[in-house]
Chains A and B, each alone.
Chain A
Amino acid sequence: MRRWIWLSVVVAIAIAYPLLLSSPFQQRLGALVLLYAIAASAWNIVGGYAGQVSVGHVVFFGCGAYAAMGSYAKFGLSPLFGIPGGIVIAVGLAAIIGVPTLRLSGHYFSMATIAVAETMRLIVTNTDWLGAAVGLSGPTVPRNIFDLSFLSSLPYYYLFLVILAITLFVTWWMTNSRMGFYLRAIKDSERAARSLGAPASRTKLYAYMLSAAFTSVAGALYAMMFGFVDPESGLGILISVKILIMAALGGAGLLFGPLVGAAILVPLEEISNSWLGGKGAGLTFVLYGAIIVLIARFQPGGLLSLFTRRRKPSADPGASHAP
């Protein structure tokens, strides 16, 4: 019951936010929070629940961004048509990357994903058809509403809100299914999970593909909002890092963790950028570094785990001596 009250409060705030705080800066900020929340929630499926820390998730982000812009720049279609294409490419790529790399444990998986992401960035930077270093642009003047090119951030805000709701719903549904249970078990002890019949490799791969699909959508939405994509904004490793930190700060493996992380970090970055101007861009990443250290040291479960831990019933002391 209390959960539903909390949920409706959060939803109400999310819907009312851009109407109450309606300056262009605030609306843009809100839209960006939601956008990063989508990406971080998508990462959370494989990074949080399955415990496979992918640092190359920007590859899938880039698939979506390039597919959306490509469908306009190459075929004159609405960027919207690029979304399904981006999902297909991202999921296919996830399968190709995942089969060999998900066997690797811990840091090795993370390093392999970084290598793949950087390789992709270099390939795209040197591919003329994808705009090379300049990138691809979307429609400069919207031809119709399906080009999803708006001056105001308000339509983007609500679009992102709907997509985020879908992402979170699918995640929630997954965590309550056998797959979600298996993922959590694999995260704790892959060996034990397999001994109980959990097909570890396959389950992780499915999670990776699902995560890739939503990350690709986030990339497509990002490119639509900004109207262009280049290797740095679509495939830069720092996007991966940002996504990861947001999920970790809020609480990896918790449904609303990534949203909380995004709601803290995006405003922090935007405000520090607007205060410090161009010179401050580097400072944001110093801040990220500091946050990584702080999370790792004081709250590895993320900020939200502060609350969940308190609510969980703990076994009475006698429990440990039970037969």
Chain B
Amino acid sequence: MLLEARGITKAFGSFKAVDDASVTLEHSDILGLIGPNGAGKSTFFNCLTGDLKTTSGRVLFEGRDITDFAPELRAGLGLARTFQVPQTFEGMTVLENVMIGAFLRTAHRKEAETKARAVLERVGMSRLADAPARSLGTPGRKRLEIARALATEPKVLLLDEAMAGLNAHEVKLAIDLVRDIHRSGITLVIVEHIMEVIMSLASRVMVFHQGKEIARGSPREVTSNPAVIEAYLGKRAAKAAAGHTPVELMGGPDL
């Protein structure tokens, strides 16, 4: 077991954004977290990365309790993440952005630079290495987020809506990149709104609704689960949809 969350609850005041959610992640899984807006998937995600402190529950990484570990310590263990709204280091070049990630495994500037260049090559951004990061558009920033995270040599990579704001062509390119990352032996957790992304990538899916896990299983299983359809489309629609294949209703998969 690579990553495990046991009974995670995150409350803001009396409101439970995540209520008793558990998940296990095996090596080379691609776990998709889905759910309507405000379902708690991002909160859950941030509890895994350490950006949010859990109210109760434990997070284990390779059997070790990391619940009280700060994000930088989790990064050191091999947990890397990207941000939904790219947190680009605006004052740096693209290369320097990636070097920040590479510095986790080496204190030497030269080594960090060599590694960062290799990562940029891998994600197809080496042409932009010396450009100021602030000159990048959304797709470039999203890709840079992934490059930076890869430079930390993660075992698990958590992608927070890495495809949001991309057009269909860019989504396809991004999916290829994620597949390539997965092939290299990195386990993935992806939070995603775009159904086709989840359908084509995830090996297992966990569905959130109002802070609770309402379904889990293969992408096909969960999208045909009545509770899931109800969460997305409402009760009446769920009844009406009973005769159709739910995957169609949710806009995928076209790939």
Contacts and interface: CB of A to CB of B under 8 A. Distances in A.
A199 B72 contact: yes
6 contacts: A177-B107, A178-B107, A181-B109, A196-B72, A315-B136, A320-B136
Interface of A: 176-178, 181-182, 184-185, 187-189, 191-200, 253, 312-315, 319-323
A177 B111 CA distance: 12
Which of B71, B90, B173 has its CB near the most chain A CB atoms (within 10 A)? B71
B77 to A, nearest CB: 10
B173 A315 contact: no
Contacts of A322: 125, 127-128, 136, 139-140
A206 to B, nearest CB: 13
A304 to B, nearest CB: 14
Contacts of B252: none
B72 to A, nearest CB: 5
B80 A195 contact: yes
Interface residues of B, number: 46
A178 B112 contact: yes
A181 B87 CA distance: 16
Contact of A194 (B72, B91, B140): B72
B206 interface: no
Interface in B144-190: 148-149, 151-152, 170, 173-174
A74 B100 CA distance: 48
Contact of B91 (A188, A191, A314, A323): A188
Contact of B81 (A176, A184, A195, A319): A195
Nearest to A196: B101
A253 B139 CA distance: 29
Contacts, number: 119
Nearest to A51: B91
Contacts of B83: 191-192, 195
A34 B189 CA distance: 54
B13 interface: no
Contacts of A182: 100, 103
Contacts of A313: 130-132
B108 to A, nearest CB: 8
B38 to A, nearest CB: 21
Interface string B42-60: 0000000101000000000
B70 interface: yes
Contacts of A181: 96, 99-100, 103, 109, 112
A195 B128 contact: no
Given A197-B152, A315-B136, A319-B140, A189 B87 contact: yes
Contacts of B23: none
B209 interface: no
B212 interface: no
A254 to B, nearest CB: 11
B131 A314 contact: yes
Given A196-B149, A322-B136, 10 more contacts: A178-B103, A185-B100, A189-B89, A192-B89, A195-B51, A196-B75, A196-B100, A196-B152, A315-B128, A323-B139
A196 B174 CA distance: 21
Nearest to B143: A323
B104 interface: yes
A47 to B, nearest CB: 15
A91 B217 CA distance: 56
A143 to B, nearest CB: 47
Contacts of B87: 188-189, 191-192, 195
B75 A195 contact: yes
Top 8 A-B pairs, shortest CB-CB distance: A320-B137, A315-B131, A192-B87, A197-B104, A197-B75, A315-B135, A189-B87, A188-B89
A195 B112 contact: no
B140 A197 contact: no
A110 to B, nearest CB: 20
Contacts of A199: 72
A193 B112 CA distance: 15
Contacts of A195: 49, 51, 71-72, 75, 80-81, 83, 87, 149
A182 B99 CA distance: 10
Contacts of A189: 87-89
Interface in B89-118: 89-92, 96, 99-101, 103-104, 107-109, 112
